[in-house]
């Protein structure tokens, strides 16, 4: 008997995925519930588990394939009662992706290509391994889960690969870079690839009037973000409200928390999330979405936080933020941001949300007029906390001011409701003790 492995519906917002890597190959045994394939959505990487125990008989979709929709047959798993290895199907059942599809596809070809690497590639890999000795007892390199699986499948030594992530963390792009270099015939090229370098596609067209240029292919995340933001700007009637908040009390709260020696100390962004949650509870009409001609006002306050990653923007969600203390919010945001940048968020961790917060203050940006993230009704842009003169009557002092801009969907909110929300938010930022009640 055989069992079909089909791509499940990962989330309502996920229409198609890219099949990143097969964790099992034809002829490999697999247990029910064991990860067998990894796919890439527009936001994250998801492991698909085997529905049954047996042997992978036929792989129907090759690694590197884009646009795979829910319900697509991915592989056939055969029962193996005798414990004998099932002969893999012909290689035509799982064609090797063309190298023209880029470095990610090259990895798919190396793993799912149903054959060994050419001798030149094997020699290049061998030279890479011996050209950079690693001392005994050295700590294990820090790498994302998908990078470790890719390296294991391709026979790469993580200890000699330089990561481009935070703190030297090795990510998927770093493995792609080394694998792309191994396609060359000279070992030196593979050694050179160990150093970080941008993944670009050089233009082969003649230089235009503006000089030569380079084209950078879009990741799935950036492609979907571009489409959604274009649609949002074209179809959502935006209006914008801006208010300046005194940030001294909020910054003082953060400084006090740091002195307390907590395991995870809150940041100004965490205070903003909590203040926004309390403001939405006070002005519930803003805790809403647009749904085909009707407005949905939600009971739960689920705040999405815009996070920049190497693949693009993603918005993990702090659910029930109005019911969580500042310390709990700090721990949750730290974990969500880390998983977002590793590409390991689950669909339920970034789907939904009733408002988004985008903070560019750490880059010195004073004001941010963000685009609403449909179907949410508003997004709050946070600028830098900057020292400025403060006039109170006839007295001038110096204080820290933070510009906060609300972008809202006029189909859902009127200007007065948006103003009430910003006024409440400003009150909580300037008097954070109110959030302890």
Q: What are the residue numbers of the active site? A: 410
Dihedral of alpha carbons 93, 98, 99, 103, sign: negative
CB atoms within 10 A of CB 417: 18
Alpha-carbon distance 103 to 321, whole Å?
40
Which residues touch 62 (CB under 8 Å, ≥6 apart)?
19, 94, 95, 96, 97, 108, 112
| Tokens 């030594």 belong to residue | 157
Q: How far apart are CA 94 and CA 48, in angstroms?
A: 18
Rounded to 10°, the helix 145-154/172-182 angle is 20
Nearest Cα to 1, choosing from 76, 63, 88, 67?
76
Residue whose token pair is 């370098």: 197
From the centroid of its chain, how far is CA 376? 19
Structure tokens at 413: 């909110």
Residue 287, both tokens: 């805790």
Q: Judge contact between 77 and 5, C-beta under 8 A.
A: yes
Structure token pair of residue 259: 């002195």
Cα 432 to Cα 437: distance, rounded to the nearest angstrom: 10
């Amino acid at each position: 008997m055989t069992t079909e492995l089909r791509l499940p519906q990962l989330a309502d917002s996920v229409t198609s995925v890219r099949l990143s890597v097969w964790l099992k190959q034809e002829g490999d045994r697999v247990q029910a519930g064991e990860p067998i394939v990894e796919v890439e959505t527009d936001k994250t990487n998801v492991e698909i588990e085997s529905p049954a125990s047996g042997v992978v008989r036929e792989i129907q979709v090759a690694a590197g394939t884009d646009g795979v929709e829910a319900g697509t047959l991915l592989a056939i798993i055969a029962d193996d009662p005798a414990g004998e290895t099932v002969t893999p199907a012909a290689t035509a059942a799982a064609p090797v992706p063309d190298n023209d599809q880029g470095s990610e596809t090259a990895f798919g070809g190396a793993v799912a290509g149903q054959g060994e690497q050419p001798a030149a590639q094997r020699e290049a890999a061998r030279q890479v391994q011996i050209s950079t000795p690693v001392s005994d007892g050295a700590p294990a390199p820090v790498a994302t889960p998908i990078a470790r699986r890719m390296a294991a499948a391709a026979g790469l030594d993580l200890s000699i690969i330089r990561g481009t992530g935070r703190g030297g963390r090795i990510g998927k792009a770093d493995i792609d870079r080394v694998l792309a270099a191994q396609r060359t015939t000279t070992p030196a090229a593979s050694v050179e690839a160990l150093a970080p370098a941008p993944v670009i596609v050089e233009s082969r067209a003649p230089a235009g009037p503006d000089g030569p240029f380079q084209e950078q292919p879009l990741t799935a995340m950036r492609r979907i973000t571009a489409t959604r933001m274009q649609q949002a700007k074209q179809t959502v009637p935006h209006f914008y409200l801006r208010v300046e908040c005194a940030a001294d009390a909020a910054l003082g709260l953060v400084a006090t928390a740091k002195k307390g020696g907590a395991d995870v100390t809150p940041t100004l962004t965490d205070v903003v999330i909590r203040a926004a949650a309390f403001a939405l509870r006070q002005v519930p009409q803003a805790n809403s979405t647009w749904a085909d001609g009707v407005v949905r006002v939600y009971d739960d306050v689920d705040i999405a936080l815009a996070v920049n990653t190497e693949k693009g923007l993603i918005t993990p969600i702090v659910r029930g933020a109005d019911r969580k203390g500042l310390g709990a919010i700090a721990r949750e945001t730290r974990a969500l941001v880390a998983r977002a940048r590793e590409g390991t968020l689950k669909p339920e961790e970034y789907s939904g949300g009733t408002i988004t917060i985008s903070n560019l203050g750490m880059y010195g940006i004073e004001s941010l007029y963000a685009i609403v993230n449909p179907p949410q009704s508003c997004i709050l842009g946070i600028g830098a906390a900057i020292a400025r003169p403060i006039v109170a009557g006839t007295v001038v002092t110096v204080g820290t001011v933070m510009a906060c801009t609300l972008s809202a969907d006029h189909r859902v909110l009127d200007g007065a409701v948006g103003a009430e929300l910003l006024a409440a938010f400003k009150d909580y930022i300037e008097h954070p003790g109110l959030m302890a009640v």
